[in-house]
Amino acid sequence: MVSDELMLKVENVSKVYKLGEIGGTTLRDELQRVWAKIRKKEDPTKKIGAKNYNKGEKFKALNNISFEVKKGERIGIIGHNGAGKSTLLKLISRVTGPTDGKIYLNGRVASMLEVGTGFHEELTGRENVYLNGAILGMTKKEVDAKMEDIIEFSEVRQFIDTPVKRYSSGMYVKLAFSVAAHLDSEIMIMDEVLAVGDMAFQNKCLTKMRDVSEQDDRTILYVSHNMNTIRQLCDRVIVLNHGDIVFDGDVEEGIKNYLGVYSEDKLPVEYDMSQKKRIYEFGKHAKLLSLKILNKENATFEGNEPLNMKITAISYKKMSRGCFIFSVLDSNGARVGATSTSYFTVSENETVERTFSLDLTNLAYGRYFIYVAFADIGDDESVIEYDDPAVKVFIEIVDKRKTGFKWDKKYYGNVYFPQAKEIL
C-alpha cells in the first residue's frame, strides 16, 4: 500500500568529488608535489600514465537532484556505471555527506550497500547475526525476537554456530541478507547485493522484500543492472545519467528510457559521437566522432548480412596498435560478447576514417546494441582505452536463417555457435 506520507525527500542535492590528488597521501608526498610545482617539473608522486587533471578540477557525481518517496514505494534506481547511483545511496544511508542540498528521512534506514558488512571472520554465524543486526541499528532484544526467523530464512541452520570464516560465499550472502530482510526499518536500501546469491535465493529474497514492503509499508530503494529483478520488485524507477535524473516514473518506460530501446521500428544508421558527454578522461587523448552504417536505411540485418560501417575518429596520440573495440549487449543490458577491428597505426593528430565489416552470423534474433571504444593495444596485450562515449548503436537481427532449428532465446541464449561437424 502506498500512502501519502513521505518517507524520503531529496532536495537539490549535489555531490562533488575533487579529481586527482585526494587523500591517502603522506606529508612528504605533499611537500614533494609543492616543490615540483615550484620548479615547474612534473609531479613525482603521480602514478605513471595517470591522467593529468587540471588543478582544482571537480567531478560532479550528483548534479542538483530532487525527488520524493512515499511510504511503501519500491523504487528501482538504474543508470550506467558512473551515473551516480551508488553515490546517491551513500548519501541517503549517511556514509558520506552531500556537498550541497538537503535530504530528509522519516524513519530508520537499513542500508545494504554490500553483503555482510561488519561480519567478523572469527565469530560464529549466530554472533555475527547479533553484530550485523546491531550495526544495522537493531537492539539485542529485537534480534533475539527475530533470531528464529533469520536462521530459518538463511538456510544455514546447520552451520549457525560455526565461525563464518568456514562458510562458502553463498552461505555468507544468505545469512547477511537474511539479517537485513528481517530488520524493522522503515526504509531499506540495497545496492546489487543480490547479484552474489544463486537464482533460487535471489528470487526468494525479492519475494520476501516485496512481501514485507506490502505488509509493513516498507519503502525500498534498489539499485541494479539486472532489469528483470527491477521488474520483479519495483513499482517506480528513477533513471540517472551523469548525475542528473533523466526519468522518474513507470517501471517499463524507465527501463526503455535507460536501455534507449527505440519504440519506433526504424533504427538509425548514423550516430554522431562528437558531442556526447564523456565520463573519466575519455575523449581527451583520442575521440570517436561518428559512426555510419553503410548501405542501409534501417539497422536491421537478415540472413548472413554483415554490419558494414564507417568510423571516424581523431587521435592526439601516436598508437602502434590502434583499434576499435565493439561490445555487444542485449536489450536487457546483459553483455553478449565483444571483438575488435584489425590493428592499425595512428600518427599524432591524425583523423582516422576507416571502414569495417562485422560478422553477425552468430547472433540470434532480437534487438541488440553495440558500444564502440577507441583503444591502443600495448605490447603485453593490455588494452589502453582512450575513448568510450557510451553511445548505443542499435541493431536488430531478423530471424529466418542459419540455425536450422527453432531458436528459443530463453533456452539457448543470444549466441549461436557454428554447427558441430561430425568427424569422419
Q: Which residues bind another protein (CB under 8 A)?
A: 4-6, 9, 17, 22-28, 30, 90-107, 109, 111-114, 117-118, 120, 122-123, 127, 130-131, 134-140, 163
CA gap 408, 228 in Å, rounded: 18
Instruction: State which residue, 62 or 311, has the beta carbon closest to another protein.
Output: 62
Instruction: State which residue, 120 or 292, has the beta carbon closest to another protein.
Output: 120
Instruction: State which residue, 144 or 198, has the beta carbon closest to another protein.
Output: 144
CA distances from 319 to 66, 247, 280, 316, 380 (A): 44, 39, 20, 9, 14
Least Cβ distance, residue 49 to another protein (angstroms): 23
The type of residue at 418 is P
How many beta carbons lie within 10 A of that of residue 63, not counting itself?
18
Instruction: State which residue, 9 or 256, has the beta carbon closest to another protein.
Output: 9
CA gap 237, 253 in Å, rounded: 9
Least Cβ distance, residue 42 to another protein (angstroms): 22
Q: Are 226 and 238 in contact (CB under 8 A)?
A: no
Q: Which residue has the cell 538537503?
A: 102
Least Cβ distance, residue 411 to another protein (angstroms): 38
Largest CA distance in the chain: 76
Instruction: State which residue, 13 or 309, has the beta carbon closest to another protein.
Output: 13
Least Cβ distance, residue 192 to another protein (angstroms): 12
CA gap 284, 391 in Å, rounded: 17
Ramachandran area for residue 143 (φ above 0: left; ψ -120 to 50: alpha; else beta): alpha
Least Cβ distance, residue 240 to another protein (angstroms): 19
Least Cβ distance, residue 118 to another protein (angstroms): 5
CA gap 74, 222 in Å, rounded: 8
Three-class SS of residue 410? helix
Helix (H) or strand (E) holding 193: none
Least Cβ distance, residue 193 to another protein (angstroms): 10
Instruction: State which residue, 101 or 366, has the beta carbon closest to another protein.
Output: 101
Who contacts 175 (Cβ-Cβ below 8 Å, separation ≥6)? 116, 125, 128, 129, 150, 154, 156, 164, 167
Closest CA to 360 of 312, 288, 411, 309: 309
Instruction: State which residue, 187 or 390, has the beta carbon closest to another protein.
Output: 187
Instruction: State which residue, 6 or 360, has the beta carbon closest to another protein.
Output: 6
How many beta carbons lie within 10 A of that of residue 48, not counting itself?
4
